[in-house]
A and B are shown apart, each in its own frame.
Chain A
Amino acid sequence: MEEFNLQGKVAIVTGDGRAWSKHIALALAEAGADVVLAARNQKGIEETAQEVRQLGRRAMAIPTDVTKSTEIQKMVERAIAEFAKIDILVNGAELQFAKPFLEVSEEEWKRVIETNLTSVFLCSKAVGKHMMEQKKGRIINIASGLALRGVANSAAYCASMGGILQFTKALALEWARENIRVNSIGPGWFSEEGVSEEEGQKDPLLRYIPLKRRGRPADIGSLVVYLASDASEYVTGQIFVVDGGLIAHA
């Protein structure tokens, strides 16, 4: 389908906390995009950049703390100096965190909110400026099914994810006429890398997931491509949940 093609487009993908920022980058590259990887984990993003190049696309790995605006600014400037423009921003940075509420320190609360939510604000601001100039752009925020539902011990995490969803809606409205689309994806329970088949079978959550398996990073990639491409021109301000049917009965 021609509409899904990302040839000639440049994407920034942030985040190394979740295995799928790598898979998102590779899905975008498979669809034709050049990719900039921005995260603190230099080794991880270098490796992903190498894999993107093996797909015949250009790639840059720029070590960045996405909670620091000066680092983000430099990253965006370097990306533009190298690739001349940015068409797609995928905000994928995430800090997972769960703890009984009264034990959550103010420090921990701040780290969760900063990594998960403030990073979305800072990166969207730095990249959005260029998207406004070119009057075209796509921002895709990776939130969670926990933007819509709650889980015990997760007040900070849920607040950050709910924040991403509301950020998505408000910014989508503000930039709707600038031809910038802002959407989010809400993954359900996904596999951690390195979990063995046997351990996976003992997973207490499996019984609860209608499709009877945890999600895999590749399950997100194709949706990111849809939302990054011209195929979704009329879609903005939404969250798309990828959770094997979980939220329908939750």
Chain B
Amino acid sequence: MVLEKLSLEGKVAIVTGGGSGLGKAMCLAMARAGADVVAAARRVELIEETAAEVRELGRRALAIPTDVTDSRQVNQMVERALSELGRIDILVNNAGIVRGDVPRPIWDISDDDWRLGIDTNLSGAFYCSRAVAPHLVAQKSGKVINVASGWGLRGGRHNYMYCCAKGGVIQLTRSLALSLAGDNVQVNAIAPGLFATAALETPEMREFFAERGRFIPVGRIGSPDEIGPLAVFLASSASDYITAEVFIIDGGGLAGGYAPTGYAPVIPIKED
């Protein structure tokens, strides 16, 4: 039955950036679907909280403090997840930073800024995939879900590290998918539009982003719990024939973009 295919019972998922925002929402959605969850991120108090909420749902959970830009820490995290939970079935590469709180012209971006942006958003996904892939290949089943962004598909003014890294995440998705296809491992990306995440928790930011919702076709920004079902779908056997694909969840943003949202011309056919 179609709904039973969505069950993640008995599976173990690693979610990087699992302490907040979309990452936390995906941890909880996958736990509700039956998975045990490893939340990995730098801020230990946040992933501890996610782990506690996963346990309240009756699933096992581990909070492993990890800086995904450090491949040694990534490898250790994966080792620990394996030794404590016995297996890994799902990897969600979600850790990322927006960086550029102040958008800067290219000549004002330092090497360090560039590296941090690329390392966190792209290299982190590569390191985690490299550490987990052998286990998925060995068990001849697994799912990798990379969180990209609409910015991986379109350009942004003064937006370098994020656009380049997220575009890279999409290409990582495709190449990894093609490479692991023969071993029954599916690799897909989710490209979220604008979502209300932890970075937006101040009232001013909330107001700012609510206002931004006016520019999105459906009229609002996304809520993190809306990404959960998509992550579950891509983590489950319901999507076994889908690989190397980018799932855009953006309230219609990328369908348009050639004219301002709401632009709806009326042009009758002129008879000669």
Chain A contact residues, CB within 8 Å of chain B = 1, 3-5, 27, 30-31, 168-169, 172-174, 176-177, 179, 210-213, 215-216, 219, 221-223, 225-226, 229, 231-238, 240-245, 247-249
Top 9 closest A-B pairs, CB basis?
A237-B255, A248-B244, A231-B229, A210-B181, A222-B238, A176-B217, A219-B241, A248-B174, A169-B255
Q: How large is the interface on B (under 10, 10 to 19, 20 to 34, 35 or more residues)?
A: 35 or more
* Beyond A174-B264, A226-B229, A248-B174, 20 additional pairs, beta carbon < 8 A: A1-B6, A1-B32, A31-B2, A31-B3, A169-B255, A173-B261, A212-B181, A221-B2, A222-B239, A225-B2, A226-B233, A232-B230, A234-B226, A234-B251, A235-B230, A242-B242, A244-B243, A245-B177, A245-B244, A249-B174
**How far is A172 from B218 in the complex, measured between Cα atoms in Å?**
9
- Assess A215 versus B241: contact at CB under 8 Å? Given A177-B219, A210-B181, A234-B250: yes
- Assess A3 versus B229: contact at CB under 8 Å? Given A221-B2, A222-B5, A237-B255: yes
Chain B contact residues, CB within 8 Å of chain A = 1-3, 5-6, 29, 32-33, 174, 177-178, 181-182, 184, 186, 193, 217-219, 222-223, 226, 228-230, 232-233, 238-245, 247-252, 254-256, 261, 264
Give the residue name and chain of the B residue nearest to A32 (CB).
B3
**How far is A177 from B218 in the complex, measured between Cα atoms in Å?**
5
Total number of residue pairs linking A and B with CB closer than 8 Å = 141
B106 CB to nearest chain A CB (Å):
30
Is the CB–CB distance between B254 and A238 below 8 Å? yes
Is the CB–CB distance between B178 and A245 below 8 Å? yes
A225 CB to nearest chain B CB (Å):
5
CB-defined A-B contacts under 8 Å, sample of 8: A176-B219, A222-B239, A223-B239, A231-B230, A232-B230, A238-B254, A242-B245, A245-B244
Name the A residues within 8 Å of B255 (CB-CB). Answer: 168-169, 172-173, 236-238
